């Protein structure tokens, strides 16, 4: 049975069938999300021999949200992400014009996210602005 991930005593409790919200994203997000989902599902299937799976739950943001709701970041999306403690997000565009802010920044601010951790690998002989 699909369930939300819970936080108890500072630890995440992940059920065998967690419900994970996702934002498909704009532009290439529409192309890459379905394929990314297949890869994630296949990895979980292989790692857990079919004993675990993800129940995906779409939440709206970006162009799709605007077309369906009139806003680029609906309150319902933020509520769902908070309730489920996580979400996977595809690339989001930033509306052009005054009064609009980056949806990525809006998500970070609304959800108190202050780190964008990305793995880095240095290649010998390739110039990099970062020090080892």
Mean pLDDT value of segment 80-85: 98
- pLDDT surpasses 60 at 71: yes
pLDDT range class, residue 114, cuts 50, 70, 90: confident
- pLDDT surpasses 90 at 20: yes
Q: What is the pLDDT of residue 36?
A: 96
Mean pLDDT value of segment 39-62: 97
Spell out a b/e string for 72-107, using b for 16 or more CB atoms within 10 Å of the CB, else e.
Answer: bbbeebbebbeebeebbbbbbeeeeeeeeeebbebb
Beta strands at 19-23 and 88-89: parallel, antiparallel or unpaired? parallel
The alpha carbon dihedral of 108, 114, 118, 123 has a sign of positive
Residues 6+ apart with CB under 8 A from 2: 15, 17, 18, 19, 55
pTM: 0.82
DSSP 72: S
Entry field: residues in the chain = 132
Q: Which of 40, 38, 58, 59 is nearest to 48 (CA)?
A: 40
């Amino acid at each position: 049975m699909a369930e939300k991930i819970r936080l108890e005593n500072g630890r995440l409790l992940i059920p065998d069938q967690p419900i994970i919200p996702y934002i498909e994203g704009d532009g290439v997000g529409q192309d890459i999300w379905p394929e990314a989902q297949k890869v994630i599902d296949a990895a979980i299937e292989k790692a857990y021999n079919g004993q675990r799976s993800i129940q995906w739950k779409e939440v709206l943001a970006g162009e799709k949200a605007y077309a369906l709701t009139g806003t680029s970041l609906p309150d319902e999306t933020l509520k769902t992400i908070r309730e489920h403690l996580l979400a996977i997000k595809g690339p989001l565009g930033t509306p052009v014009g005054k009064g609009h802010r980056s949806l990525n920044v809006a998500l970070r601010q609304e959800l108190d996210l202050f780190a964008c951790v990305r793995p880095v690998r240095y290649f010998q002989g390739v110039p990099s602005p970062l020090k080892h």
